[in-house]
Amino acid sequence: MIPEIGHFALILALCVAVVQGSLPIYGAAVGSSTLMSVAKPAARGQFLLVLLAFCCLGYAFAAKDFSVLYVAATSNSQLPLHYRIAAIWGAHEGSLLLWVFILSIWMVAVSFFSTHLPEAMRARILGVMGLVSVGFLLFMLTVSNPFERLIPAAFDGRDLNPLLQDPGMVIHPPMLYMGYVGFSVAFSFAIAALLGGTLDAAWARWSRPWTTVAWCFLTVGVAMGSGWAYYELGWGGWWFWDPVENASFMPWLAGTALIHSLAVTDKRGGFKAWSVLLAILAFSLSLLGTFLVRSGVLTSVHAFATDPKRGLFILVFLAVVIGGSLVLYAWRAPRVGLGGGFSIISREGMLLANNVLLVAALGSVLLGTLYPLFLDALDLGKISVGPPYFDTVFVPLMTPAIFLMGIGPLAQWKKTSLPELATRLRWAFAVSIVTALALPFTLGHWTPLVSLGLLLAIWIVTTAAVDLRERLAHADGSSLLGRLAAMPRSYWGMVLAHCGVALFIVGVTMVKGFEVEQDLRMNVGQTATIGGYTFQFDGTQQYKGPNYIAARGTFRVSQDGRDVTVMYPEKRRYTVQNQTMTEAAISPGFARDLYVSLGEPLDDGAWSVRLYHKPFVDWIWGGCLIMALGGILAVSDRRYRLAWRHKEADVPAATQMARQTVS
Amino acid sequence: MKPRHKRFILIGLGLIALAVASMLVLNAFQSNLVFFFTPTQVANAEVPKGRGFRIGGMVENGSLTREGDGLTVHFVVTDLAKRVPVTFKGILPDLFKEGKGVVAQGQLGADGTFLASEVLAKHDENYMPPEAADALAKAKTAGAQSSRTLVVNPR
C-alpha cells in the first residue's frame, strides 16, 4: 500500500508541476498577477508531494519490502539500516527520485528567498523549474518507476553493490545532486531573463548567490567522490579521469566559469550573453552527467538497447532542454546588448581569458568522455582515452589560467597598465620563482612538474598577500583589525577559495612527485620500509561482519624505532553477491598518508600487499573544502543580505526597469 | 584604437588561443587513444607493433599461475576461438577470476606474450567487462569457435 501512495504522490506532483510550468509563465507574458501568484504555492505543494514519495520509498527500504522491484534489486535483509536508506539512491530509478526531490528543495528555497524579486521574474523562474520537474517526473512515471511491484515478491533482495556500502556513499550522491540540481536555479534565472528580456546587473546579482551555493555543493560532492575512490577502491588513486568522474567534473568547470563571468555582469554589466550561455551549459552538463552515470550507457552504450524507451526518452529530453534553451538564446540574446567596453589588459580581459581556458578544458574533457561512446554506438571500434590524455591537456590549459588567477584580482576594471602590474607583483614573482626552484631540492629530487606546481601554488598565495596588503593600505579605519574587518566578505571568500586552489595544487604536486608505492609479497612477521616508515605484517584473522566475512590484516608501523600506528586493512567477501572487496587501511596525517591494502592470500599465511606513502594527499580534499568554504563566505556577503532586507525599496525600481526593457 | 579594432584584436586572440588549444588537445588525443582488440585479432596479427592496446576476453579456467615472488602472474585470455598468454606483475583487482571476463592493457612481447601493465577492474553487474563480452560475442558470431563450453558460472 505504501509504495502505491508514493506512486500516487508522484502522479499528483506531475500534475502540480504541469500547472507550475505553464500558468505562471503565461501569466508573466500577459501580465496577469493572479496566474503568476500560482507559482509559489505550486512549488511548495510539489515539494510536499515529492517528499511524501521519497519517504514512501525510504519506508519500503526500511521495512524490507521486497515486493518492490527496486528495493529487491538494491538491498538485502542483512544490509544495515543506514545503507538500506542510502540504497534509495543506489541505482537508476531511486537516484532520479532523489534528483526530483532535491529539485523540489531548491524550488522551495527559491520560493522563500525570492521575495525581493519582481513578481514576473519569480513566476518565470519557478515556471522553468517546474518544466524541468515535469520532464523528470514524466521520465520516472513512464519508464523508470521506483515503485514498480515485483510479483511474486522476492524472498530476499539482491543486495546493494558492496562498493557503495560505505559512509562516503551515503552523503556523496546527495551532495553532488545538490550541486547538479542547484545549477537548475542558475539555468532558470537565465531562461527567465531571456523570456522577460531583462538581463542587467540586478539579474546577475540575484543569480550569483544561487550559483555560488550550487557550486559549493558540487565542489564538495566531486571532492567526496574522489575521496571515496581513494579509500574504497583500494588502488590509492584519487582521480582516474573515468567517465563517471568526468561527468561530475564538467559541470564544475562550467560552473566555475559561470561564477567568474557573473562577477563581471554584476560589477560591470558585461559578459551578459556569455553568462546566460554558461548557465545553460552548466545545467545541460549536469543533466548529461546524471544520465551518463545513471543510465548504464557508460558500462555499455548498448545498455540502451535493452530498454530503448528509456534511452529514447533521455535523448529527447536532453534535446528539448538543451536545444530549446539554445534556440531561445539565439532568438533573445541579440536583444541583451553589450556591456561597457574594456581594454584587453583589464580585469574583464583576464576573467575573459580565464573563462576561455576553463571552457577549453571543459571541451577537452567532453571530447575524451564522449568520443569513445560515439565510436562504440556507431560500431566503429572500441577505444578508450586514458589519463595521459587528460594530464597532457590539462596542465598546459590550467597553467595560464592559474597564473592569471594571481594577477586578475589586482588588475583594475576596464583598463589596467601592464608595467604597473609588473612592478606591483615583482616581489611576489621573485619569491615564487625562487621558492619553487629551491624547495624540490630540499624535498629530495627536482622535476620540472614539481617546480611548476609549487610555483603556481606559491604564486596564488603571494599575489593574494600583495593584494590584501594594498587593499589594507587603502582601507578606512585606524587599527589593522578594524581594517581587516572592513573588507567585504565576498573579497575574503574569493581569497579563501583561491587559496583552496593553491592547497589543492600543492597536494596534487606532492603526491605526483613524491609518492612511493610498493607491491610485494609479505610473510607473517616480515617487514618492509617505504618513505622512512617500517611496516611489519603480523598476519591476518578471520571475522564476520553483518553481511560479509573478512580477513583482517595487522600491520605495525614504526618510524626510527618508534611505534607510529597499527593498521588493519581488510579483504571482505560480501556473501549475497559473492563479491570480494578490498578495504584499505589509511593512516591520515597533515603531511602524509600511509596506505595499506591487501592483495591476495598466498601460501603459509603470506599475502601480496600494496604499501603507499602519499605525501600531502589530504591537501587535495582539504583544498576543495576550503574552496567551498570560500564560496559560502562570499555568499554571506553584506550586499546579498541587503538585497534580501531592502526588498521593498528594490522591487518598484526593478519592475520599472523590467517594463522599460520589455517595451 | 577604435573600439571596433579592439574587438577584432580580442576576437583574433581568442581564435588563436582556441586554435592552439585544439591543436594541443587533438594531438594529445591522437597519441593517447588506446584501441581494443580481441584475442582473435591478436592471433591474426592485426594489432599495432610497439604501441599499447587493450585486449579482452575470458580468463581461461585453470590457466592462472603465480611465480614465487607472489606478484608475477601468468594467465591466458581467450575469446574461445584464440588464446593469448598474458604476464602481469602486480596485484590483481578484486574482480579478477578464472572463467570471468577481463580487460588488460599493455604491449605484445616478442614471443607473443601480452605484457600487461594494467589489469582492469571495471565491470558491470554481471562482472563481464563489456569489451570482453563483446570479444566473446564476436568470436561466436564469426563461427570460429572450436568448443562450446561457454559461460561456466561457478556461483
* Residue A153 near chain B (CB below 8 Å): no
Segment A333-347 shows an average pLDDT of 77
Within a domain: A178 = no
Within a domain: A156 = yes
pLDDT number for residue B146:
37
pLDDT number for residue B131:
64
Bridge partners, residue A563, by sequence:
A558
Query: What confidence tier does A192 reach under pLDDT thresholds 50, 70, 90?
Result: very high
Q: Which residues contact A163 (CB under 8 A, 6 or more apart)?
A: A169, A232, A233, A581
Segment A17-31 shows an average pLDDT of 95
Residue A618 has pLDDT above 70, yes or no: yes
- Verify that A424 and A493 share a domain, yes or no: yes
- Verify that A69 and A119 share a domain, yes or no: yes
Task: Indicate the pTM of the whole model.
Answer: 0.90
Instruction: Give which of B22, B34, B73, B94 to mutate to test A binding, by max A Cβ within 10 Å.
Output: B94
Nearest-CA distance from A33 to chain B in Å? 43
Output A34-40 pairs: Cβ under 8 A, ≥24 positions apart. A35/A123, A36/A119, A36/A120, A36/A122, A36/A123, A37/A119, A37/A123, A38/A123, A39/A111, A39/A122, A39/A123, A39/A126, A39/A127, A39/A130, A40/A111, A40/A122, A40/A126
pLDDT number for residue A637:
87
Nearest-CA distance from B16 to chain A in Å? 12
Segment A239-265 shows an average pLDDT of 92
Nearest by CB: A608 against B17, B18, B71: B71
Q: Which three cell numbers stand for residue A500?
A: 583552496
Within a domain: A161 = yes
More confident of the two residues A229 and A403: A403
More confident of the two residues A212 and B151: A212
Nearest-CA distance from B24 to chain A in Å? 7
Residue A379 CA to its chain's centroid (Å): 32
Spans of all domains in chain B = 1-32, 36-141
Q: Which residue from B minimizes the CA distance to A301? A: B130
Q: Which three cell numbers stand for residue A386?
A: 586514458
Nearest by CB: B91 against A386, A392, A519: A519
Q: Spell B54-88 as b/e; 16+ CB within 10 A means b.
A: bbbbbbbeebbebeeebbebebbbbbbbbbbebbb
Q: What is the mean pLDDT of chain B?
A: 77
- pLDDT tens column, B25-44: 888 888 888 888 888 888 88
Residue A613 has pLDDT above 90, yes or no: yes
Segment A354-360 shows an average pLDDT of 91
- Verify that A149 and A130 share a domain, yes or no: yes
Q: What is the mean pLDDT of chain A?
A: 89
Are residues A382 and B28, on separate chains, in Cβ contact within 8 Å?
no
Are residues A608 and B70, on separate chains, in Cβ contact within 8 Å?
yes
Nearest by CB: A299 against B32, B66, B124: B124
Nearest by CB: B25 against A296, A356, A367: A367
* Residue A573 near chain B (CB below 8 Å): no
- pLDDT tens column, B12-25: 887 887 788 788 88
- Verify that A608 and A649 share a domain, yes or no: no
- pLDDT tens column, A199-243: 888 889 899 999 999 999 999 999 999 998 898 877 788 888 888
* Residue A523 near chain B (CB below 8 Å): no
* Residue A400 near chain B (CB below 8 Å): no
pLDDT number for residue A500:
97
- Verify that A535 and A656 share a domain, yes or no: no
The domain made up of B36-141 is a member of CATH 2.40.50.140: yes
The region of weakest confidence among A77-86, A284-293, A559-568, B7-16 is: B7-16
Query: What confidence tier does A41 reach under pLDDT thresholds 50, 70, 90?
Result: very high
pLDDT number for residue B24:
80
On the 0-12 / 13-18 / 19+ scale of CB atoms within 10 A, B24 is: middle
pLDDT number for residue A646:
53
Bridge partners, residue A596, by sequence:
A585, A611
Nearest-CA distance from A362 to chain B in Å? 11
More confident of the two residues A347 and A199: A347
- pLDDT tens column, A104-116: 999 999 999 988 8
Bridge partners, residue A530, by sequence:
A533
- Verify that A73 and A161 share a domain, yes or no: yes
Are residues A356 and B14, on separate chains, in Cβ contact within 8 Å?
yes
Are residues A382 and B134, on separate chains, in Cβ contact within 8 Å?
yes
Are residues A356 and B18, on separate chains, in Cβ contact within 8 Å?
yes
Q: Which residue from B minimizes the CA distance to A359? A: B18
Q: Is residue A449 within 8 Å of residue A442, measured between CB atoms?
A: no
* Residues of A whose CB is below 8 A from B14: 356
Nearest-CA distance from B22 to chain A in Å? 8
> What percentage of residues in chain A have a pLDDT greater than 70?
94
Within a domain: A399 = no
On the 0-12 / 13-18 / 19+ scale of CB atoms within 10 A, A32 is: middle
pLDDT number for residue B1:
59
CA-based R_g, chain B, Å: 22
Are residues A579 and B94, on separate chains, in Cβ contact within 8 Å?
yes
pLDDT number for residue A303:
52
pLDDT number for residue B128:
57
* Residue A602 near chain B (CB below 8 Å): yes
- Verify that A493 and A525 share a domain, yes or no: no
What one-character DSSP code corresponds to residue B75?
E
The region of weakest confidence among A494-498, A536-540, B57-61 is: B57-61
* Residues of B whose CB is below 8 A from A553: none
Are residues A383 and B155, on separate chains, in Cβ contact within 8 Å?
no
For B151, other C-beta atoms within 10 Å of its C-beta total 9
Q: Which residue from A minimizes the CA distance to B66? A: A602
Number of domain units in chain A: 3
Q: Is residue A252 within 8 Å of residue A218, measured between CB atoms?
A: yes
pLDDT number for residue A300:
57
Residue A294 has pLDDT above 80, yes or no: no
Are residues A383 and B71, on separate chains, in Cβ contact within 8 Å?
no
Nearest-CA distance from A32 to chain B in Å? 42
Q: How far apart are CA B62 and CA B88, in angstroms?
A: 16
Vertex A342 angle, CA A340 and A348, to 5°: 100
Q: Which three cell numbers stand for residue A271?
A: 559578459
pLDDT number for residue A304:
52
Q: Which residues contact A663 (CB under 8 A, 6 or more apart)?
A: none
Q: How far apart are CA B62 and CA A466, in angstroms?
A: 66
Nearest by CB: B32 against A386, A397, A519: A386
The region of weakest confidence among A77-81, A151-155, A609-613, B8-12 is: B8-12
- Verify that A503 and A646 share a domain, yes or no: yes
Q: Which residue from A minimizes the CA distance to B119? A: A235
* Residues of A whose CB is below 8 A from B33: 383-385, 389
pLDDT number for residue A650:
44
Are residues B18 and A389, on separate chains, in Cβ contact within 8 Å?
no
Cα dihedral B53/B56/B62/B68 (nearest 10): 30
Give Dmax (Cα) for chain B: 78
* Residues of B whose CB is below 8 A from A523: none
> What residues make up the domain containing A608?
516-616
The cell 503565461 sits on which residue? A26
Are residues B92 and A599, on separate chains, in Cβ contact within 8 Å?
yes
pLDDT number for residue A645:
56
Instruction: Count, in order, helices (H) and strands (E) of chain A.
Output: 23, 11
* Residues of B whose CB is below 8 A from A364: 21, 25
Instruction: Give which of B11, B15, B23, B25 to mutate to test A binding, by max A Cβ within 10 Å.
Output: B25
Which amino acid is it at B8? Answer: F
* Residues of A whose CB is below 8 A from B35: 381-383
Strongest mean pLDDT among A36-40, B97-101, B125-129 = A36-40
More confident of the two residues B9 and A597: A597
pLDDT number for residue A658:
40
pLDDT number for residue B15:
84
